[in-house]
Structure 1
Amino acid sequence: MSARYAFRLPLLALALALGACAVTGGETGTPREAGTNLVGEACTVTAGPATLGAGGERQTTVHCGSWQQPSARIAERGATQPQTGDSPAAALAAGPWRAELDSRMRCDAPAATAFAGGLDGAVMQCRLLNGGFPMVALALAAEGRIFLADGIPAALPVVERAVLAALGRGTLGAETAESRAIAFVRAATGRPLAGAGALDAYYTALATAQYQDTVQDFAASEENYRKALLVQAEAIGSDDPSSADPLMHVALELSNQGRYDEAAPLFDEAQRLAAASINPSDLPRLLSYRAIDAANQNRLDDALGFAAKATALRREFAARNGNEVGNGFTGFAGGGDLISYGGASGTVIGIDLAQSLHTEAALLLRLNRLDEAAQKADEAIAITRASRAAPPWWLPQFLETRATVAAAGGDSRSAAALQGDAVTIWANTLPDSVPEGLARLALGRYQHATGRSDAAIATYRQGLATLKARNAEIRPRELIGFLDVASAAAAATPGEAGRLEVEMFEAMQLMRSGVTSRTVSLATARLAAGDQQVGGVIRAQQENDRKRYALVAALNRALAVPAEVRDTKAIDGLRSRLIETEAEGRRLDETLQAASSGYRQLLATPVGASELQALLKPGEAVVAFASAETATYGFLVRADRLRIWRIDAGDQAIGDVVIALRKGVTPTRSGLPRFPVEQSRGLYRTLFDPVAGDLDGVTSLVTSANGALASIPFGILVAGPGEARGGSYREVDWLVRHYALAQVPSVRAFADLRRVGTASGGTQALVGFGDYQPPRDMNALFSSLPANCVRDRKVLGALGPLPGTAVELERVAAQLGAGPDALVLGDAFTKTAVTGRPLSDYRIVYFATHAVLASEIRCFAEPALLVSPGPAAGADSALLKLSDILNLKLDADLVVLSACNTGGTDGKSGGEALSGLTRAFFYAGARRLIASHWPVPDASTAALMTAIFGGQGVGGAGALRDAQLGLIDGRGPGTTPVEWSHPLFWAGFSTIGDGTGVAAR
């Protein structure tokens, strides 16, 4: 379930009726230069068209800087309106103008003041409900005329010049002395004034993030919400209650990526701020988002509680303000601008209520309370159909939920009809988009349920083609649903089975983790900054995204107009431009992927089964597992076959076993834990029994997995009989006895690494970094970070020095014939020592240090390797973050990550951290890695590495297997203790890559 209520382009501004002439005079609709505002931005003034209305006002707009929205609006009270007793304060107090103002802002009481030219008037300090930015509202009186204005404080001198020009007392470009009103505004804000550019950056970031969320690019959406948060903090401070809105969006996008530990404290902080926010929509929206977060984690009862409370608050607000919100809700028609976004009007509360009801419906559906789910969904759909202010992508989403309710109740025909309507709306609203592709997968499911297998297969293929073209991310729940129905369709139509299985294999590769999305986002930023040619393509991509969003928004606004008055010519033109923009975007995507093979690996574009089979050697197999809440699918590829099987165990069941296995390799105060051999054997059987015969003749097995399975090395699984006796595990039939094992973060990574035919051109054998030294003054190290980074302090403070890594590195260096200058140890092992060294000169790059997870260092939000911090340096100096690794330039046959703990405290999230780090190193130029899932004792690590680097095929699965079996069976160099047969001592290391090795020298 994704975030479906984010920032949206407003459709809410009440039209101010204009009189017979504009404030500034001149030709209507023609911008006239008006000097600069208080922050130096060039401004123009534009007269609006003359209209009639109950308010009798007439309006002019001020635009400053590059912002396309008005920085201020000026309305002159019409000549036909009563003037008796009218004063600036009275004009500000009531009337249509004030009612519209209150739908957008919260204002203090008016204060009498003087404006430029000696004009008398009153000014109110205001805050935008949407964003909390400072605003001013003012009234000026002169010659029996009343001028009303509102806008950003920086635009005040332009407003004054426009009014003076209307009175014939000056020109728009004339400079005037700073008025008392301006001095009052400067003093009242208490911060440097924000220009139009700040609001432009804020709302552009929000609009972009909302679009990215709609197409389920959650990592990119998170980045843009963070940008908005930073811009807002510059204008209003970092702890202002109005920051609740962008902060809760960041938290929700983290949740949508599965990064729940990172999301939790942000939700807590956003809730604290929302409780004090001037926008009454913030708290119910926060509760609604917490409902989605809880649902993402399958805590459905908690989620329903949050959602019901959000609905109740919205109904209460509507009732308290006299707004009847229900099936008859219509909202206001017409267009508007960003500062006119009504955060507290009946329209906004109404469409917020629709979102809240939809969330409840989705949760009740998952709880199998179908009648209640149908009622909530129907009410949400009715509100949305009746409102022109609702985001156009809400209706198809709500219809999809209602279709799922119908299908769950056994009414597949109604489900297919509702889903078909949703597909049609998506195709018109966001054509060839990820939501359209996913909607087609769901439609195929319902078509199959009604017995229309041929139609279902055709619909699936349309959906998959769209998703592949978009290089989309399919979430586990969506993928398993598709695989279930595709399997059934394959069984029902044997002639299509082979083709469907190939398509299932490619669809599986579109399932990605939040860490993958985050890594792609960081790599994109690195490419944009560091490669002039590729950076130009990326910037063109970003501009294409903005153009596409603007066209979609304009098209949706045009379609919101009643059919009898629509501008069909303009709509056709918008659709044509959107098709061209889509085609341009696809060309740019292809250009970018062709320009950087490492970037293609990060994107993990699907590899066809036949393409993969052509890369496999005799005796090799690739096995991938895709796990969701209720089930897991396995995919086995050999040169002559593709096998797909369903496993009736999902994230929870597999995760519980993984936690038990991780505990079995975690030392306790009393010594070595007993490893759960039987549970390991059970997990092996669950995963591999369905394809036992297909593994005959396999000697090299490459695995890829998501979720909990990514947190363990597969060599720890037990394939056959044999028990531990008296502390010895030598009789256990470990999987590593059967296969040389390697793992990859994606099938694409295997294919691209296998194609790399050249060895490193590095002139030096080795550079090694280790003997980590913790910071001597933790408080000083973190002094520049916010107080809520206390958890980061505790995590880093608990990780002690690693003196044994110096010995480990010295032995490896001796084996490779590398001199003492090849090692960077102790206090010299700094971030600068890594990033400032010409790493492309080295064939092997070796890190022997701690690793930390993004969930453990929340203030950095990236997995990282620890380095010895420099004196008087900040916290960033202690971390070689994922983004730093992406910036390294390697030409390495092998990267070693030793002593790292990438398992995580729960045994589930660490595999994602390892996946992120390995993806980053591959992107930076590594061909293979050896990495540890948990810290391995110094002595056995030294013995293992001595064996690995002492033979042939260093870094390959075969060399690691031989070294591990030597420790298990006591065949290592010297005397090998029997306790080393315990997997703590040998199983923690994995080779990551295509399984091949390289010569040591």
Structure 2
Amino acid sequence: MSTIFRAVTVVCAGFASIAAADAGAGKPGYNSAQTELTGQLVEARRFQQEGKPEKAIELATRVAATAPSPSDLRAEAFSLLGALAHSANDWKNAAAHHDEAARIRRALAGGETTESREADAAAGLALANLGDVAAGRARLDPAWRGLDRTLDRADPRRLTAGLYLAMLQLVARSDGLGEPLLRRLNDDMAALEPTHPLRLEVNDQLATALQAQGRLTDALEMQKRGLALRERAGASADSIGNSEIMISITALSLDKLEDAERFGLRAAASFERAGASLSQGAGMSQAAQAARRLGKLDEAVAHARAAVALAERATPAVPLATAIFRNTLADALLASGNYQEGLAIMRAAHDGIAAVRAEGHPQRTYPQMGLGYATAISGDAAGGMALYRPAFESVFRSVRLLEVAQSRATGAAGNLESFGQGLDVARRAGDREFGFRIAQVMVESDAGRAALATLARLSASDPATAEAIDKRRELLRRRLELDGERVTKALADPAAAQALDTQIAAVDAELAAVTATLDAAMPGFDSLLRPMPEALAEVQARLGEGEVLLVPMTTHQGLFTFAVTRSRAVFGHDPVSRHRVKALVRRVLDGVLPEGRVRAGEDASRDLVDAPLAASFDRAATRELARAMLTPDIAALVGEARLVSVAADPVLSAIPFSLLPTGDAADAPWLIEQVALRAVPSIAALGRSPDAASGVTGFAGIGDPSPRAIAADASSVAKGLAALPPLPGARAELAALAAAIGPRRAIVLTGDDATEARLRTPAVAKAGVVAFATHGLVAGDFDTLAEPALLLAPDAAVAGQAGDGLLTASEAATLDIAAEWVVLSACNSAAGDSLSAAGYAGLARGFLLAGARNVLAAHWPVRDDVSSRLTVATIAASRNGAAAPQALAQAIRALIAEQRRGGGGDDPALWAPFMVVSR
């Protein structure tokens, strides 16, 4: 079995201090034989520190066999043997030796001691690495609690045991505790020297925790910090190289290509100094991939050739590494137009990997996809498809998640590359059906499953089944609350945490039973939660008259776009690189929110046409994006449409499509002026919206929560939330909405009343419009904030996450809301966790799952007067019979016309951020 945890060097040098045994040699009761044994133990420790484990084991074994039992000497000998086995990844002996050391310590003291708990912690780690995570947890939990209670916060023995437990929790995905515990340990190490090895271990494990959550931007920062710690400590060239190559890998996954190339080259240089030629080749291979995506094709080929040469000279030979580096070289050659050599090397790479990896292994499947792509672009599209299709189906079956293109489990960068190649193969082979299948994989997201789960709940014809779906939702909400409580109490009140474990187990048992009921009553329920791609004809049949489904995707092979109507399907392509598209999207966003623009909460008395801002908007960037997506055939379809439903990939959904121009002329109309637009979170749920709920009426507004009181020892999250600026226009905006929609049927929750508990009341559940006017937060805004959230008022009367004053996307999904409209008038409320996160895959996702039919959200903060006006106008048009997308389009067009009449231009910063998200 592979090792789960790395050895922590500072502790594996010996859990208990052998010097203590040395000091005991002069105490009464020690005879000359014991003094000699003590000397042998000290000598064994010296051999261990000098890197001579065989001699250390020989002496420690002799002491363990001959020292009196029980005795400190015997316990110390077993501790040292356990540490030596630990360092060698000999987990079976490590567990046995540490277990014996703990037993002796307890026998000597008549109970638990610091030393016995240290040994238990080490034994628990060894058991986990042997595959028995539950047994490891059973040893580590009480050991950590005892050391946490009895030792100083900065005591390395306490910190090491905590680190072991956090590592186990991360691997076991145990209640989300790993990251909070690591952050606590990180804070506790302030008293240690900056170069103390434990600082580096905790930092590295935090980076691992963040990567496991898909928070790659945060992980990258931790990795860079780890590199700085290594450099400050004077670490070896090999250690520094390992840190640099991990930074390069993460940066490549984030499309931070300049960083990926730079740190790949730095890693290669470090490994060259260390004499590690194969690792040097890995650094060059990383740099080659980044250079290729940057369009630096000559450099990419040169870096890749150097990597292959290093692998071919390695002794002993490593065929797998050689094949992987050849794959990188083939990619660079194909990108540079050298198809003949590229195809030959890709074939050699594929054959080399096939020789050492079994059929179905990912390291064999992905090269087959690459070979299919190389074959297709070299002129044999049919042959390329024959190779690519079965490999793709194998990958898809193994994951069976529609977000597999961005999957945390299998690696975003690898799948994005491979699926982009598949789109190009399908285009060259003229296979629109297969291309559309891949497209659905690339643009579907958790937002899609949220819409489909809502559909399942609302459309279940059997009342008992509908009740079971509702019960499952309630159980998931309760599970979420209990998890949150345990995260808090596990560190401060272990007894309470154990009681919560019992409650969690009971909820899990109920969830299993409800899920079994649903599986029997609704065989398609699981497929709704994890839908399969649908046939092109099935999607076309659900489109409305005059509706175009637009599906654009950025890849390293260019920008691909599907435009689908009831009777036609166009598969377009533009060679613009993903890196270029991301730069264009960033330019557009910088143009609507540069420093100095009017933001939410500023003077609402200003006239809408006052102070034109259009000069800062980057129209050239939007024209380039529009040309890439709206190829001539696609533009013709869109030009004939009444409604465009957009299912964009995460990069492109960061901007509203309403601000795309319809031509190259400076005065070309905006797309929103020609056609209504909406974002759809799921292609599979498209056209399957249930009927409107009955008895839904009135207005519920929530916003302007009370300022937060902050304790001196508050967490960084609490301090950050308290520092958020007030939103002086929030109450006025909610009051205006209430007055416009119907003051006699309105409830407005502000100040201390703006709590999550007040949201879970019948008045809100039955409101026709539910509006939020508060701060919207995105994942990564604060440490441990892993998903989008709305800022509410904290509720001291409610324990756990339900009272923390943050309504996360997953908590929003557990609300009972039947509203026709949910309005998110909050900063960043449409955004995901970065430029690479789907714009609508934030809070809108949660409210769709809760039962809302339409979500009106904004991509960036806007003036309160503009937000209120557009919202009121949109809802009014909707109540007058306009469909949701048309209602928003009418409101935006009126604002654009007013801007132009007043001479203020038609700056998109004011009207473009608003979008409708619906099923």
Residue 333 of structure 1 aligns with which residue? none
Structure with the larger helix share: 2
Kept in 1, the 8 Å contact 2:831–2:859? The answer is: no
Name the % identity. 21
Task: Give matches, 1:469-508, under 5 Å.
Answer: 469=397, 470-471=399-400, 473-474=404-405, 475=412, 479=416, 483=420, 487=424, 490-491=427-428, 497=430, 500-508=431-439
1:719 is matched by which residue type in structure 2?
T
For residues 605 and 656 of structure 1, do their structure 2 counterparts lie closer, same or farther at Cα, with a shift above 3 Å needed? same
Assess, with a 3 A threshold, how the Cα gap between structure 1 residues 531 and 297 changes in structure 2: closer, same or farther.
closer
Match of 1:619 in 2: 546
How far 1:818 sits from its partner (Å)?
A: 6.0
Between the aligned partners of 1:517 and 1:250, the Cα distance in structure 2 is 30
* Residues 119 and 862 of structure 1: CA distance in aligned 2, closer, same or farther (over 3 Å): closer
Residue 218 of structure 2, aligned match among 245, 258, 262: 262
Matched, 1:607 2:551: no
Which residue number corresponds to residue 642 of structure 2? 699
Q: Deviations over 1:364-409 (max 9, x none)?
A: 776544355234235447769757xxxx986764553355466566
Q: Quickly say closer, same or farther: Cα 1:978–1:158, change in 2 above 3 A.
A: same
Q: 1:85 to 1:969 in 2, by over 3 A?
A: closer
Compute the displacement of 1:769 (Å).
1.1
* 8 Å contact from structure 1 (residues 448, 485) kept in 2: no
Are residues 1:833 and 2:773 paired?
A: no
Q: Does residue 76 of structure 2 align to residue 123 of structure 1?
A: yes
- Correspondence list, 1:509-528, <5 A: 509-511=440-442
| SS in structure 1 at match of 2:824 | strand
Residue aligned with 2:249, SS: helix
**Matching residue's letter, 1:737:** E
Taking a change above 3 Å as real, the CA distance of residues 922 and 312 of structure 1, as seen in their structure-2 partners, is same
Q: Per the alignment, do residues 864 and 222 of structure 1 end up closer, same or farther by CA in structure 2, a change over 3 Å counting?
A: farther
Distance 1:126 1:278 in 2: 27
Contact 1:894 1:927 in 2 (8 A): yes
600-609 vs 455-464, which moves further: 600-609
Q: Which residue of 2 aligns with 1:823?
A: 748
Cα separation, 1, equivalents of 2:357 and 2:125 = 34
Once the two structures are TM-superposed, the CA of residue 840 in structure 1 deviates from its matched residue by 4.3
Deviates more, 1:637-646 or 1:221-230: 221-230
Q: Distance in 2 between matches of 1:151 and 1:199?
A: 5
Equivalent of 1:414 in 339, 344, 348? 344
Q: Secondary structure at the match of 1:965?
A: helix
Looking at structure 2, the residues matched to 657 and 90 of structure 1 have their Cα atoms a distance apart, in angstroms, of: 68
Q: Which runs of 5+ in 2 are unaligned?
A: 8-15, 17-32, 135-169, 190-195, 406-411, 455-467, 480-514, 599-609
Aligned residues: 760
The answer to whether the aligner puts 1:90 opposite 2:40 as a matched pair is yes
Query: Which residues of structure 1 form unaligned runs of 5+?
Result: 1-5, 12-37, 39-82, 138-147, 162-174, 208-219, 320-324, 327-349, 539-587, 725-731, 995-1001
Cα deviation for residue 478 of structure 1 reads 5.4
121 and 969 in structure 1: CA distance in 2 versus 1, 3 angstrom threshold = closer
Task: Determine the structure 1 residue equivalent to 2:679.
Answer: 743
Alignment partners' CA distance in 1, 2:518 and 2:74: 59
- Residues of 1 paired with 2:575 and 2:446: CA distance? 26
Q: 1:712 maps to what in 2?
A: 655
| 2:776 and 2:788 in contact (8 A); partners too | yes
Q: Secondary structure of the equivalent of 1:992? A: strand
Tell me the amino acid that sits aligned with residue 293 of structure 1: T
Q: Which moved more, 1:505-514 or 1:436-445?
A: 505-514
The residue type paired with residue 635 of structure 1 is F
> In structure 2, how many angstroms separate the alpha carbons of the residues matched to 1:104 and 1:647?
62
Of 844, 854, 862, 1:936 maps to: 862
- Which whole-Å CA distance do the structure 1 matches of 2:538 and 2:768 have between them? 29
Verify the 8 A CA contact 1:152 1:195 in the aligned structure 2: no
Deviates more, 1:250-259 or 1:305-314: 250-259
**1:300 deviation in Å?**
5.0
Q: 1:940-955 residue pairs with structure 2 within 5 A?
A: 940-950=866-876, 951-953=879-881
The one-character-per-residue Cα deviations of 1:640-698 (angstroms, maximum 9, x if unpaired) are 11111112333444444444444444453794422547434454344324222223431
In structure 1, give the amino acid aligned to 2:40. A
Report the secondary structure of 1:752's partner residue: coil
**Counterparts of 2:317 and 2:475, CA distance in 1:** 46
Match of 1:899 among 810, 826, 830: 826
Q: Tell me which protein shows more strand as a share of its residues.
A: 1
How far, CA to CA, are the matches of 1:92 and 1:245 in structure 2? Answer: 27
For residues 307 and 593 of structure 1, the distance between their equivalents in structure 2, rounded to whole angstroms, comes to 52
User: Counterparts of 2:915 and 2:554 in 1: how far apart (Å)?
Assistant: 21
Aligned to 1:374: 305
| 2:542–2:686 contact (8 Å) kept in structure 1 | no
Whether the aligned pair in 2 keeps the contact of 1:795 and 1:856 (CA below 8 Å) is no
Query: Are 1:306 and 2:233 an aligned pair?
Result: no
Q: Does structure 2 retain, via aligned residues, the 8 Å contact 1:247–1:266?
A: yes
* 1:623 CA displacement: 0.4
Q: Give the drift of 1:621.
A: 0.5
CA gap 1:844/1:221 in 2 versus in 1, 3 angstroms? farther
Name the stretch that deviates more: 838-847 or 128-137.
128-137
Q: Are positions 1:289 and 2:253 aligned together?
A: no
Change in 2 beyond 3 A, CA 1:199/1:753: farther
Matched residue SS, 1:754: coil
Q: 1:859 to 1:253 in 2, by over 3 A?
A: closer
User: 2:854, 2:916 within 8 Å by CA — same for their partners in 1?
Assistant: yes
How far apart, CA to CA, are the structure 2 residues paired with 1:715 and 1:479?
Answer: 27
Deviation at 1:850, TM superposition (A): 2.0
User: Following TM superposition, by how much is the alpha carbon of 1:991 offset from its aligned partner in structure 2, in angstroms?
Assistant: 0.7
Alpha-carbon spacing, 1:881–1:489, altered in 2? closer, same or farther (3 Å): closer
User: 2 CA distance for matches of 1:594 and 1:385?
Assistant: 59
Cα gap change, 1:793 to 1:129, in 2 (>3 Å): farther
**Aligned mate of 1:688, from 624, 630, 638:** 630
> SS of the counterpart of 2:613?
coil
Instruction: Measure the CA separation in 2 of the matches of 1:737 and 1:839.
Output: 34
What SS does structure 1 have at the residue aligned with 2:614? coil
Q: What per-residue deviation string (whole Å, max 9, x for no partner) do you get for residues 233-270 of structure 1?
A: 89999647447457546647867998554234322443
**Aligned counterpart, 2:109:** 178
1:701: Cα distance to partner? 0.7
Query: What TM-score comes out, normalization by structure 1 length?
Result: 0.63
Which residue in the other structure is 2:793 paired with? 868
Deviation at 1:612, TM superposition (A): 0.9
8 A contact 1:242–1:277 mirrored in 2: no
Inter-partner Cα distance in structure 2 for 1:304 and 1:471: 32
Is the contact made by 1:623 and 1:634 (CA closer than 8 Å) also made in structure 2? yes
The answer to whether the Cα contact below 8 Å between 1:707 and 1:911 also exists between their aligned partners in 2 is yes
Distance 1:982 1:85, change over 3 A: closer
Query: Residues 263-293 of structure 1: CA distance to partner in whole angstroms, max 9, x if unpaired?
Result: 3432244335556889967543222111223
The answer to whether the Cα contact below 8 Å between 2:552 and 2:647 also exists between their aligned partners in 1 is yes
The whole-number CA distance in structure 2 between the counterparts of 1:479 and 1:716 is 27
Task: Please tell me the residue identity of whatever aligns with 1:456.
Answer: G
- Describe the SS at the equivalent of 1:755: coil
Paired residue type of 2:549: V
Q: Tell me: CA distance 1:244–1:638, structure 2 relative to 1, closer, same or farther (3 Å).
A: farther
**Aligned residue for 1:958?**
886
For 1:702 and 1:517, locate their aligned partners in 2 and report how far apart those are by CA, in whole Å: 14
SS of 2:691's partner is coil
Q: State how 1:757-776 maps to structure 2 within 5 Å.
A: 757-761=690-694, 765-775=698-708
Pair 1:783-2:713 in alignment: yes
Cα offset, 1:532, TM superposition? 9.8
Separation of aligned partners in 1, 2:762 and 2:473: 23
Which residue is 2:369 aligned to? 441
Alpha carbons of structure 1 residues 987 and 964: separation in structure 2 relative to 1, 3 Å? same
User: Matches of 1:123 and 1:149 in 2, distance apart?
Assistant: 15
Partner Cα separation in structure 2 for residue 909 and residue 483 of structure 1: 19
Partner of 2:155: none
